[in-house]
Amino acid sequence: MSQPTRPRPLDGITVISLEHAIAAPFCTRQLADLGARVIKVERPGVGDFARGYDQRVQGLASHFVWTNRSKQSLTLDLKQPVATEVLDTLLADADVLVQNLAPGAAARLGLSFEALHARFPRLIVCDISGYGKGGPYEQKKAYDLLIQSEGGFLSVTGGPEQSQMAKAGCSIADIAAGMYAYTGILSALLLREKTGEGSHVDVSMLESLVEWMSFPLYYAYAGACAPVRAGAAHATIYPYGPFPTGDGNTVMLGVQNEREWQQFCVNVLHQPALANDERFNTNVKRVENRAALRDLIVQAFASLSLGAVTERLEQAQIANAQVNDMQGVWDHPQLQARERWTQVDTPAGPIPGLLPPVTSNAYAPRMDPVPGLGEHTDQVLAGLGWSAERIGQLRARGVV
């Protein structure tokens, strides 16, 4: 791990974010990881509604502590005219504005790219929405599950029956949009170095998820049949998925090519003749006859423990994995060996935090506290030149 005193890529960059839920906060948290100063503007007394999703982390919400470390929380009632003065002063020195307010809300506040670019030509404006600017769905409300549905994800996820469709267990549409917003902002910062001007980054949750759906889309190209819902198995590669072992456990494995299929039959199943069986000697045939092949694999594993099956798979160099629950991930030996957990402070005390997946030898990521609601209001306003008396007046009027 590099020394934390080394410069970070976004040191000196200031981000103002009108954000809630997951997509925008996940984007800006990653900018903060790289050193950006992120000022999170929240409604007085209420804040980001994700603060109230649950109380599972020492009384704090799990989504919130995940996506909001290393930020400053400024409470500001944007419906009050004096709040515009505060926001304009912040934007005058900011590099990036990120917002994922309700459709049309930012424009009504005078925060569209067109309105801001004339006054702050170097400002990068990133709008994150469900469906993007323009089109018949522009004003349509969007939540993660709804985008998973609109983007076709539910049609290929879950069990084979229509009633067995399943959403992802985490907010993948929000996460996808947050990732594209993050990379879009980094690209806009690079572009500004060349042009001297800020640009508009428009990110749609639908388009972000549809990009991730490109394999099943192309698989079903020109009216072809779409991939079937196959539970935890792979729809178009077999054997690839979960299989029970004789001691009541489950092993996850994947056979990707014909060389591995030969190894699997000889060294894992101990049935070499199966390798050239006409029903299974290509991946297409194995997918077509998956039920019969699954029965053979289950029979072969029925007398073996999970450890024994895993040992055979490892010796045959067949990819495999344990089916971990959440505690298994907290305790994962690879994460422990690579020292991927550090400590992050919160208003409720320290919690473990996973270091960002990108490791650099040049700098250490920023892992500062998760802010309390409005914790940095006085600090931010004082930095704008506002006196303690004036800040007190704003607080008395409910502006902050």
Domain boundaries, the chain: 14-213+335-396, 240-323
- Establish whether 174 is a catalytic residue: yes
* Mean pLDDT estimate for the chain: 95
Residues 297, 303 contacting (CB under 8 angstroms): no
The Cα–Cα gap between 109 and 94 comes to 18
**Predicted local distance difference test score (pLDDT) of residue 273:** 95
User: Mind listing the pLDDT tens digit for each residue in 362-376?
Assistant: 999 999 999 999 999
pLDDT in tens, 254-309: 999 999 999 999 999 999 999 999 999 999 999 999 999 999 999 999 999 999 99
CATH of region 14-213+335-396, choose from 3.40.50.10540, 3.90.850.10, 3.40.50.920, 3.30.565.10: 3.40.50.10540
Distance CA 31, CA 286 (A): 45
Helix (H) or strand (E) holding 129: strand 124-129
242 three-state secondary structure = strand
According to DSSP, the β-strands at 71-75 and 37-42 are: parallel
Contacts by 57-62 with C-beta closer than 8 Å and gap 24+?
57/346, 57/348, 57/351, 58/346, 58/348, 58/349, 58/351, 59/348, 60/346, 60/347, 60/348, 60/370
* Start-end of H helices in the chain: 23-33, 62-67, 81-92, 105-108, 113-119, 144-150, 172-195, 205-212, 214-219, 258-263, 283-288, 290-301, 306-315, 326-330, 333-337, 377-383, 388-396
Name the residue with tokens 């000697």: 281
From 33, 127, 174, 345, active-site residue: 174
Q: What is the mean pLDDT of residues 214-224?
A: 93
Output the CATH code of domain 240-323: 3.30.1540.10
Block residue for tokens 């704008």: 384
Q: Are strands 96-99 and 124-129 parallel, antiparallel or unpaired?
A: parallel
- Note the pTM of the prediction, 2 decimals: 0.92
Residue 321 to residue 318: CA distance in whole angstroms:
10
Confidence band for 1, pLDDT divided at 50, 70 and 90:
very low
| pLDDT for residue 2 | 43
Residue 4 has pLDDT above 80, yes or no: no
Span 192-197, mean pLDDT?
Answer: 97
Hunting for tokens 């009108």 — which residue is that?
A: 18
What string of DSSP letters covers 316-327? TT-EEEE---HH
